[in-house]
Amino acid sequence: MEMPAVDVRTYGTPAAAAFQASRHVTEEGLTDWRDAVGRALGTPPTGPILDLGSGTGLWATLFTRWFGVDVLAVEPSAAMRELSMHPGVMAGDAARIPLEDESVSAVWLSTVIHHVPDLEAAALEIRRVLKPGAPVLVRAAFPGRCGDLTLCEFFPQTLAVMDGYPSVETVRAAFRSAGFGFESLAAVPEVFAQSLSEYADRLDRYAFTPLRFLTDEEYEAGLARLRQAARLESGPVIDKLDLLVLR
């Protein structure tokens, strides 16, 4: 079943603040992502990177520091733009990117692809702003590949929600229609929190799209399971999301 669309343009300040508080991972927890993105970029980009759907600016800020490049951030939510760590965020979305043709050396989409209502139109727009031969890097939870996420362990109903996300093949097909080929797909680990207690303390229902589709009873039951486990277990919480590279 296809997941109902969540229009991120309607995210207000509470949702943006929840995203910033819950979803920002420490730089030390993202070293595997730094290495994976560096490999996908290959030689240093000759122009800016586009962070499309940049949220509150974590990745744009990190890419600037990690790779020494300019990062152009585009975000549809005014509240997200207002709270962004990254300066100069532009209003726009995957169907309307406010950039010139062939002006960027890579496009990054982090946990954005399931919010895009028309993937083929987005692929054409991304093709327009990308330099020839430049990559698209998609960080996502794809159906059938996200069962090990901590969120799914304690809120198993979220698996059914994520089963409605665009699949790897759906994304590949949409971008293939715009001339992109498949380059690689790999699960990349990240240290999301230092303990389940920290994870539970940071969790906010409005920061994670799948939790928005749970009933109040399902959410409270999952939170109780998480709190119980946090009393018994310590150690870092390591999650994996996929990095899909198209070129």
pLDDT tens-digit readout, 77-97: 999 999 999 999 999 999 999
pLDDT tops 70 at residue 134: yes
- Position 199 scores a pLDDT of 94
Contact 89, 81 (CB under 8 A): yes
Q: Where are the domains of the chain?
A: 8-145+166-192+238-246
Encode the chain in three state secondary structure.
Answer: CCCCCCCHHHCCHHHHHHHHHHHCCCHHHHHHHHHHHHHHHCCCCCCCEEEECCCCCHHHHHHHHHHCCCEEEEECCHHHHHHCCCCCCEECECCECCCCCCCECEEEEECCHHHCCCHHHHHHHHHHHECCCCCEEEEECCCCCCCCCHHHHHCCHHHHHHCCCCCHHHHHHHHHCCCCCEEEEEEEEEEEECCHHHHHHHCCHHHCHHHHHCCHHHHHHHHHHHHHHHHHCCCCEEEEEEEEEEC
What's the CATH code, domain 8-145+166-192+238-246?
Answer: 3.40.50.150
Q: Across the chain, what does the average pLDDT equal?
A: 92
Contact 134, 180 (CB under 8 A): no
- Position 247 scores a pLDDT of 97
- Position 7 scores a pLDDT of 54
Band of pLDDT at residue 142, cut at 50, 70 and 90: very high
